[in-house]
């Protein structure tokens, strides 16, 4: 790795592809004063079907890239990476790379909120195969709310539908309905469903169409944004290392032109990304 700077710098936000932009958008609403640097590893997405080792290797490369660009704080805006790579990066890599830098994920803040929402204690999770198989949500929920029941269901087709701009097409109707039915068939009294993948808010219209009334659907953007605000309040030593220019820069491992179109839809503003080779 290159020599790392310790000057104030943008907050880094990472995702395997476009999904983390749904987190970044909400973070910027709550914390518009900071600078942000986003990287989407679109060339290697989706991560959700990949092995633990590959998700870890790819995530670590992206985090190191953000560190090399100066970021002192990095948010993994990706459940799959939060499930499969975050702990190892925090416990094994950060002490070696630079113990003053921080990497935070999206699973813990989401779980912390759940207690205020569910009434039945029966919680459904939609996620990528990697997130569901990791049982990260089950483990975190059991730590905080041991009496709750968690029902996970993997939706391997949802990320490809989003990445291929098919979120509003008939294929999305078929798979969203099928996966909602499969989740709810596990337990008829699920009252709260977590969208445990940052791509899924892009399917929210279809999800609302097929989800029975009365079941709350939880997207993570606002939750993660509020949690980051709280983190910066509690960690003034990190807050001063986050530069405040209100800018947002986008990078992708894919061709920039291929990224810009759909990225603009996610963040509701024109995007001019820079291509990076990792
Ligand atoms: N958006 C990511 C997540 O939250 C991963 C999607 C993927 O690459 O499979 O899990």
Q: Which atom of ligand 1 is nearest to the CA of 80?
A: 10
Question: What is the pLDDT, as a whole number, of residue 233?
Answer: 98
Residues with CB under 6 A from ligand 1: 15-17, 19, 45-48, 78-80, 128, 131, 159, 197-199
Name the percent of the chain lying above pLDDT 90. Answer: 94
What is the arithmetic mean of pLDDT over 133-154?
Answer: 96
Q: How does pLDDT run across 156-182, given as a tens digit for each residue?
A: 999 999 888 899 999 999 999 999 999
* pTM for the model: 0.94
State mean pLDDT over 152-157.
Answer: 97
Q: What is the pLDDT of residues 26-74, one digit of tens each?
A: 999 999 999 999 999 999 999 998 999 999 999 999 999 999 999 999 9
Closest ligand 1 atom to the C-alpha of 18? Answer: 1
pLDDT of residue 2 exceeding 80, the answer is no
Q: Which residue is closest in CA terms to ligand 1's atom 8?
A: 46
Model pLDDT, residue 12: 98
pLDDT at position 75 is 98
Catalytic residue among 62, 155, 197, 242: 197
| 185, burial (CB in 10 Å: exposed 0-12, middle 13-18, buried 19+) | exposed
**Residues of the chain above pLDDT 70, percent:** 100
The arithmetic mean of pLDDT across residues 226-243, rounded, is 98
Q: Tell me the average pLDDT of the chain.
A: 95
Indicate if 78 belongs to the active site: yes
Distance CA(167)–CA(84), nearest Å, equals 26
For the question of residue 187 being annotated catalytic, the response is no
């Amino acid at each position: 790795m290159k020599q790392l700077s310790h000057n104030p710098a943008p907050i880094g936000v990472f995702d395997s592809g476009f999904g983390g932009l749904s987190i970044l958008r909400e973070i910027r609403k709550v914390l518009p004063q900071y600078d942000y640097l986003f990287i989407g590893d679109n060339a290697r997405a989706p991560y959700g079907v990949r092995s633990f080792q590959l998700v870890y290797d790819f995530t670590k490369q992206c985090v190191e890239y953000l560190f090399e660009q100066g970021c002192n704080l990095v948010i993994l805006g990706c459940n799959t990476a939060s499930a499969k790579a975050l702990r190892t990066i925090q416990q094994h890599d950060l002490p070696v790379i630079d113990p003053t830098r921080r990497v935070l994920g999206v699973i813990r803040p989401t779980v912390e909120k759940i207690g205020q929402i569910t009434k039945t204690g029966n919680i459904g999770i939609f996620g990528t195969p990697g997130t569901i198989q990791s049982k990260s949500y089950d483990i975190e929920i059991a730590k905080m709310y041991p009496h709750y029941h968690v029902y996970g269901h993997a939706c391997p087709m949802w990320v490809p539908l989003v990445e291929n701009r098919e979120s509003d097409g008939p294929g999305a109707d078929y798979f969203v309905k099928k996966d909602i039915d499969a989740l709810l068939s596990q337990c008829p009294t699920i009252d709260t469903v977590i969208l445990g993948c940052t791509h899924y808010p892009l399917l929210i219209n279809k999800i609302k169409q097929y989800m029975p009334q009365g079941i709350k659907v939880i997207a993570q953007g606002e939750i993660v944004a509020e949690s980051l605000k709280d983190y910066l309040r509690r960690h003034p030593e990190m807050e001063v290392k986050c530069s405040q220019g209100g800018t947002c820069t986008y990078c992708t491992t894919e061709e920039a032109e291929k990224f810009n179109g759909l990225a603009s839809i996610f963040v509701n503003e024109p995007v001019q990304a820079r291509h990076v080779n990792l």
